[in-house]
Amino acid sequence: MLASVGEIVVVRDGSGPEILLVHGGAGPRTTWGALAPLADRWTLAYVHRRGYPPSPPPQQRQDFEVDARDLAPLLAGRPHVVAHSYGVLGTLIAAAAAPGSVRSLTLIEPPLNYLVPDDPEVARLERIGDAALTHGMDMDPAELREFLRVAGAPIGDGPLPAGVVAGVRRAHGGRPTSEARPQLEAIRDVGVPVLVASGDHSAALERICDSLADALGGKRSVHPGAGHFVAAAPGFAEQLETFLHKSVR
């Protein structure tokens, strides 16, 4: 079922309690395809962020503050929320503004680099990630490839695939992740159940996820095997469903 909420589109499948799925730089199909079997027991609500059809393009740029405003009305039904990568930023801002409106939060490999200060690997990840947003295909080619590999893009040693180039161009000009400062204490103070998941493919992202779980008083899970696209890793769907069943408040 396709529904327009404001200017963005949400596609729902299944029946049962709602899981709101918020993708990051990759689209919903790539990010969440492995979770499709959960529709037998849950309503999967696939958010399409601005710039990802059938939602409209952003008016100016990809911006986590705009994402938060788009997500706010979707929390009215108090769903479970699962968010990935850049999509975590807007999710946390929206949840912090109304923490009682989310049943639980599952947060996968967000670029919240500020949580791990004075760490050279995290600082490098922040620098190349912001450079990819600021300069797009014009950034240093070696560093672009380094970032794309961390971000899970399907690249080899040859020319970048057309789909990857399109993704870089879509993100070009987006608001840098280094500017995000969600009010984490607002979420922790009301006791929202939180699961922070990672894929054990980047030491910097593991440390970020550890720090985020600590800041939110959340649980941690690590699922190797699918890189940045942790939702596709062996065991993740089962871990998620177990967490959701325990998160009834």
Q: Which tens digits make up the pLDDT trace of 93-120?
A: 999 999 999 999 999 999 999 999 999 9
Q: What contacts 24+ positions apart, CB below 8 Å, involve 69-75?
A: 69/94, 70/5, 70/6, 70/7, 70/8, 71/20, 71/22, 71/47, 72/97, 72/98, 73/5, 73/6, 74/5, 74/10, 74/20, 74/45, 74/47, 75/20, 75/101, 75/102
Q: Is the pLDDT of residue 38 over 70?
A: yes
Q: Are 223 and 213 in contact (CB under 8 A)?
A: no
The CATH code for residues 2-113+179-245 is 3.40.50.1820
State the average pLDDT over residues 61-72: 95
Predicted TM-score (pTM) of the model is 0.94
Sequence ranges of the domains in the chain: 2-113+179-245, 120-171
State the average pLDDT over residues 197-212: 98
Q: Is the pLDDT of residue 4 over 50?
A: no
User: Measured between alpha carbons, how far is 192 from 102 in angstroms, rounded to an integer?
Assistant: 7
pLDDT value of residue 157: 86
Which residue type is seen at 230? V
State the average pLDDT over residues 30-38: 96
Residues in the chain: 249
